[in-house]
């Protein structure tokens, strides 16, 4: 068997120096660029409501926005380690969302049953044909969020397992 040189197993794409790979790659939402802090969000969007924070993750909600000519849109902004990494949109009219995305970003790169995707090394635009929602993600920070989420989910599962294994004390005589 000839020696193998390199197997690279995975995933994330390094973003530095990458060229835009599809038209109008999103750099954030409005004046808020990916990587911005929650303080910057509150300054840029004073009406944003903080849904809450859990460890590394903070989520804000914003109502009544206009995006790609669609309105009204409910917007969810997500932060990992206080850095803006993803924005999720739910807009009306839903039947015009797919067309608006194609108009803005050109033909999609990937068409999967549950997801239509525009991707580059730095950004990820995803559209759910069923839910009619879409999102813009910074790939570098998004990957960090995914890794932390995986760690979080695994830890929760382990703790739940450990709790379930603790015997319940018997009745006091």
Partner 1 sequence: MYSNKIAGVVAGAVALLLLSAPSYADLTKCATLIDGENAKMQAAMIKHFQKCIDGYHKDLAKVPKTGPFTAAAKVCDKELGKGIGSGGDIDKEVTTKLIAGFTKNTCTESDLLALGHLSHKLYTDNWARLQGVSAFHSAYEQALAGSRDFIQGLIDMGKSASPGCPNCVKINHPLCNEMSSVLASSSQAVVLVSVLNLTVPLSGTTVLKICDNTVSGLVSGGILPNIPASTFYVLGGPGKLLDPAPVGNGGTALATACTRTIAAEGIIQCGSAQRISYVTCQDHTPSTTNADGASASGGCTGQDSCARTKKNSEQSVVDPKDGPPIAASDTLIGGACIKTVSTAGVAGDGFVNLTSQIGLHRLVTNDNCQNPATLDDAGLPATTSLTTGTAAAKVLNQDSEGGTPSTNELDSDVVTGSIFNCATLNAGQTKGTHLVGAFPAINTLQLSGGGDFLDSVTTFELDVAP
Closest by Cα among 145, 114, 112, 111 to 12: 145
Binding span for partner 1 by CB under 8 A among 63-71, 96-104, 146-154: 146-154
Q: Closest distance between partner 1 and the C-beta of residue 172, in Å?
A: 29
Q: Let me know the angle formed at the C-alpha of 57 by 45 and 12, rounded to the nearest 5 degrees.
A: 105
- Is 147 a binder of partner 1 (CB under 8 A)? yes
CA distances from 65 to 6, 45, 86, 88, 97 (A): 47, 11, 16, 12, 14
In the complex, the smallest distance separating the C-beta of residue 167 from partner 1, rounded to whole angstroms, is: 19
Cβ distance to partner 1 smaller for residue 43 or 173: 43
Per-residue x/- track, 21-50, partner 1 (CB under 8 A): xx----------xxxxx-xx----------
Stretch that binds partner 1, among 64-72, 91-99, 157-165 (CB under 8 A): 157-165
For position 146 contacting partner 1 by CB under 8 A, the verdict is: yes
Q: Is the preceding peptide bond at 95 cis, omega within 30 degrees of 0? A: no
Residue 59's SS3 state is strand
Taking CB under 8 A as the rule, does residue 65 contact partner 1?
A: no
> Which of 111, 142, 101 lies closest to 11 in space, CA to CA?
142
User: 90-129: which residues touch partner 1 (CB under 8 A)?
Assistant: 90, 109-112, 114-115, 119-121, 124, 126, 128
Query: How many CB atoms are located within 10 Å of the residue 45 CB?
Result: 18
- 11: contact with partner 1 by CB under 8 A: yes
């Amino acid at each position: 068997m000839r020696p193998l040189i390199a197997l690279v197993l995975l995933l994330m794409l390094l973003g530095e120096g990458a060229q835009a790979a599809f038209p109008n790659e999103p750099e954030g939402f409005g004046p808020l660029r990916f990587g911005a802090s929650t303080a910057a969000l509150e300054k840029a969007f004073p009406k944003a409501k903080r849904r809450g924070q859990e460890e590394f993750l903070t989520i804000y909600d914003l109502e009544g926005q206009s995006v790609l000519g669609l309105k009204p849109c409910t917007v969810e902004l997500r932060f990992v380690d206080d850095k803006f990494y993803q924005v999720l949109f739910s807009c009306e009219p839903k039947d015009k969302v797919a067309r608006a995305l194609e108009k803005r970003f050109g033909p999609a790169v990937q068409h999967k049953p549950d997801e239509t995707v525009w991707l580059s090394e730095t950004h990820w635009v995803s559209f759910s044909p069923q839910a009619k929602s879409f999102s813009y993600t910074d790939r570098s920070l998004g990957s960090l969020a995914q890794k932390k989420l995986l760690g979080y989910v695994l830890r929760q599962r382990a703790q739940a397992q450990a709790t379930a294994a603790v015997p319940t004390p018997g009745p006091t005589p």
